[in-house]
Structures are given as C-alpha cells and as structure tokens.
Amino acid sequence: MRLAPRASRPRLDWKFDLRSHIPLALVAALVAALPSTALAARTSTAVRVDEPAAGDATVAGFELKLVKEQPPAAAPAAVKLPKGISVFAVVAKQKHTDRVRGVLVVVRRADAVKTASASASTVLVNLRHAVIPNGFKTTLSVKQRRNVLAGGRAFKCSSWFKSTDLRSASLLGGPALAGVTPRQAAAAACAAARSHEPFAGENTFRQALNAPTGFLTFTKEPTVATQVNGSASFNYPVKSFSVQADKSHTFTACSIPGGACRLLRKAHYAAFKLAAPAARDTPLPFALALSKAPTTNLPFQFFGVPTRGKRSAALLTSGP
C-alpha cells in the first residue's frame, strides 16, 4: 500500500535587514503613524534588542516561527545607526522550513576608555523573509542580556546555535571592529555572557570596544629554565597589577624594575605595585620564577588596578 505524502510545511526563508535605532517609546509611536500599506507588510519581523552601554555588548537569542493564524504586521521606517553601534548575527542551521533560530550581537564602541554609561534605547533589526502565506503569521520569542562585560545572569548562546554555526557570523550594519572578525565578535560576546571567567581574545574584543583592558606577553628566560620574563600594558593608567598562575604552576619569586612585588595565596598570585602610576599603553616589564619549567601557552590570568583603586576585569593570556 502506498502512503499519501505528508502535507508540506510552509517555508520561512530569511535574510537580515538592519533598520533602525531609536528609543522604544518612539518606536511604538512611529509604527502607529505608518501608512496602512506599511502596516500590511508581511515580509519582515522586527526584533527589539537592548542597546548596550558604551564599551559593552548585548546578546539576544531569537526564534522566529511560522504558525497558522492570520496576523497584522508592522515594519518600522529606516533610521541610520548612531555612531559606534555595530550589529552582528549568527543563525543556526535551519532544520525546519517554518522556523529559524539565532543570536544577534549589538556592540557599542566607547569614545574613550572610561566607566560604562547606561543606555535605555533599543536597536531594531528586521528579520526579512518570504511573504507570509495567507492564514499564517510569524511568532517571535527573544531572550537577551544587556552589557555582557559587566556582571549579570548567565546567557548561553549554545541554546540558540551550535559552535559550527559561528562560521556564518556576519556584520549586519555599523562599522567593523578593528582587529576583530564577525565570528570573533559573536564568539567573544557569547563567552562574556556565559560566564565571568576570562576567555581567550577578551582583551582584543575589549580593545575594539574601547573598554578597559590590558595585554600580557611572556618569553622564556634563556639562562633559567624555570623563569619567564613578562611585559604588561593597559589602555588606562595603572598603579598596580597582578598575575595568577594556572593550576599546574606556582610562583617562587617575582620582581619588577622601579616597583615592588609579593606572592599571595600560597604563591598562586604575584602582585606588582608600581612606585608611581604608569600612563596608559606604558610597557611594564617584570620577571617570574616558577616551581617548574613552564608549559607552552600558559593560561595565566591577569588584571590591572587603575589609579581610582578599583580592580579591572580579569583577562586571559598565553605564553611563552
């Protein structure tokens, strides 16, 4: 007996169109004022993403579904993005023709390295797709976290796409980030949203956003197998900084020219105090003696303490 073919599922083809950035209250007023032809548009679905503070990012996971019911639809008018805002997207491989999932990443570059300022605005991203069939509508669910570089609840991008989907990451609008690809920007924002732990590439991501950050490089001391020489620099004035060893290493000694150093927490931390605050981007050479010869790509953590005395976020380095 030959079975009848299963009814085909309506297809939802998609593409992105970055449309506007205006306060949420103005969005509602603008949509209400649009002509009836715009209100009847059935080829896009708007996603409201919280604008991050300067020098930070917002991640927003979305799922767009096609369901059976006649809907009204609206499409906001286009407005240019403000200075410093860029939007990236990662879309999961589409397994069902009537739904699509992914993550939008909105970053805001600060004009100068400073404490982040809050924002109450939103960025509207239109998910453009084929015309919605008669008798159907789109439903949109969105979960997001604003200011991922600051403290907050965990947000797992893995709930919205797989790591292999990062290859399709793209820049939707705004300027590219210096030294950071769309894939790296999405991966960094998702890593920051997932955990407070430092992650590889965080300092480069922070630098591209003009957020407080630092860089640390190591080289092996050729005459002493258990010693490494380091150089630290920060994009803000610092009066001290610390280096944390990984689980397989401890420090036995440390030194810094023109300053003092001491070992803390059972020789797992080396704290360097400068005789005078160092200006931003000043190379700060130092030396560390280890309990055993260092392995390749040391996963050491470090952070700086600016002149105002508050510790900056921990960063991850590797070497020598």
Residue 2 pLDDT grade (very low, low, confident, very high; cuts 50, 70, 90)? very low
Residue 82 pLDDT grade (very low, low, confident, very high; cuts 50, 70, 90)? confident
pLDDT value of residue 42: 67
pLDDT value of residue 116: 59
Task: Look at residue 83 and tell me whether its pLDDT is greater than 80.
Answer: yes
The count of C-alpha atoms lying within 13 angstroms of the C-alpha of 122, restricted to the half-sphere facing its C-beta, is 18
pLDDT value of residue 118: 67
pLDDT value of residue 76: 38
Write out the H or E segment, with its range, that includes residue 14. strand 14-22
pLDDT value of residue 87: 93
- Where do you find CATH 2.60.40.1510 in the chain? 214-316
Question: For the segment 200-224, what is each residue's pLDDT rounded down to a tens digit?
Answer: 999 999 999 999 999 999 999 999 9
pLDDT value of residue 186: 97
Question: Each residue of 35-60: b (16+ CB within 10 Å) or e?
Answer: eeeeeebbebbbbbbbbbbbbbbbbb
Q: Which residue has the tokens 């679905």?
A: 45
Question: For the segment 30-40, what is each residue's pLDDT rounded down to a tens digit?
Answer: 222 223 333 33
Residue 26 pLDDT grade (very low, low, confident, very high; cuts 50, 70, 90)? very low
CATH topology of domain 214-316: Immunoglobulin-like (2.60.40)
What DSSP letter does each residue of 211-258 carry, written as one string?
-S-EEEEEEE-TT-TTEEEEEEEESS-EEEEEEE--TT--EEEEE-TT
Range scoring the smallest mean pLDDT among 103-117, 181-195, 250-264:
103-117
DSSP-based three-state secondary structure for 194: helix
Range scoring the smallest mean pLDDT among 73-82, 117-126, 301-310:
73-82
Residue 247 pLDDT grade (very low, low, confident, very high; cuts 50, 70, 90)? confident
Residue 12 pLDDT grade (very low, low, confident, very high; cuts 50, 70, 90)? very low
pLDDT value of residue 64: 87
pLDDT value of residue 310: 86
CA 193 from centre of chain = 7
- The type of residue at 156 is K
Of residues 240 and 122, more confidently modeled: 240
Strand order in the sheet with 85-91: 137-145, 56-67, 99-108, 85-91, 170-173
Residue 10's CB: how many other CB atoms inside 10 A? 15
Tokens of 91: 């879309």
Q: What's the predicted TM-score (pTM) here?
A: 0.83
